[in-house]
Amino acid sequence: MPMFTTSDGHMMHYKDWGQGPVVTFSHGWPLSSDAWSGQMQFLAEQGYRCIAHDRRGHGKSAQTGTGNEMDTYADDLEQLFAALDLQDITMVGHSTGGGEVARYIGRHGTGRVKKAVLLGAVPPVMVQSAANPDGLPFSVFDGLRRDILKNRSQFYKDFAIPFFSANRPDANVSQSLLDEFWLISMQAGLKNAYECIKAFSETDFTEDLKKFDVPTLIVHGEDDQIVPIADSAHKSAKLVQGAQSLFYPGLPHGLTATHADRFNADLLAFLRS
């Protein structure tokens, strides 16, 4: 099982599939690299080298007691890139992973990066404040913290439903997909998942987005019930100079699974452009 050791001594798991131009994947909360399997399999067959890591505390990586915040997430990613000597990377980040990509570029620049994709991503900032009146109330994230401590297993079962918009009248979401979400989520450490809520909700990525100087694609489902599009993708598209945007009518936060063929085709087109 491919692993690397972070500078603070923790073992981190990653997948490395295929050969060719490099595409890296940063997953959403509280998932792991397994959430990207469909995209990685598809792109590996198209001649790309696909690398996805399990963020610290998630999946098969160490359940760390510290570093469960965006700066460390970004630094962990840079250490992986350095260990594998990756260059000309297309970085793809979903949800919290989109924040990870933004903070990586904000802290480490684009020396290794060729392109970026932010999908259903949390930037610029999720939580409501005087500076961000359109954000989600702080009470929303306090509710997540409360429920994950009370019964994380039940919480993940409940959270999967809006994640895939399975609560819509015309939804066609299988029980097996909801079960898979629960299974992957349960691999995340409780402390890590709990502390990551603050990381994805309160981190302000505005200045990070302004540092993007590579071709960037911003993708979002317009029926995203987890990261509302109006306060995320619409604003990020204005902050990233020259960004392309692709907004899917009616699609959910978890569109990489519910509409994999559509997203995979659009991702491949961006990679080839």
What is the set of active-site residues? 95, 224, 253
List, in order, residues 6 or more apart from 252 with CB less than 8 Å away.
Answer: 162, 163, 164, 165, 221, 223, 224, 225, 258
Among 130, 83, 117, CA closest to 243? 117
Beta-strand relationship, 244-248 and 3-5: unpaired
Instruction: State the Cα torsion 53-138-124-144 to the nearest 10°.
Output: 20
Return the amino acid letter for 141: F
CA-based diameter of the chain, in Å? 48
Q: In what order do the strands lie in the sheet with 244-248?
A: 3-5, 11-17, 49-53, 22-26, 89-94, 113-119, 216-221, 244-248
24 token code pair: 């890296």
- Among the listed residues 222, 228, 198, 259, the one whose alpha carbon sits nearest the alpha carbon of residue 122: 228
Q: Chain-centre distance of CA 125, in angstroms?
A: 14
Residue type, 166: A
Give every CB contact of residue 220 below 8 A, 6+ residues apart in sequence: 119, 120, 121, 227, 229, 232, 233, 245, 246, 247, 248
According to DSSP, the β-strands at 11-17 and 3-5 are antiparallel
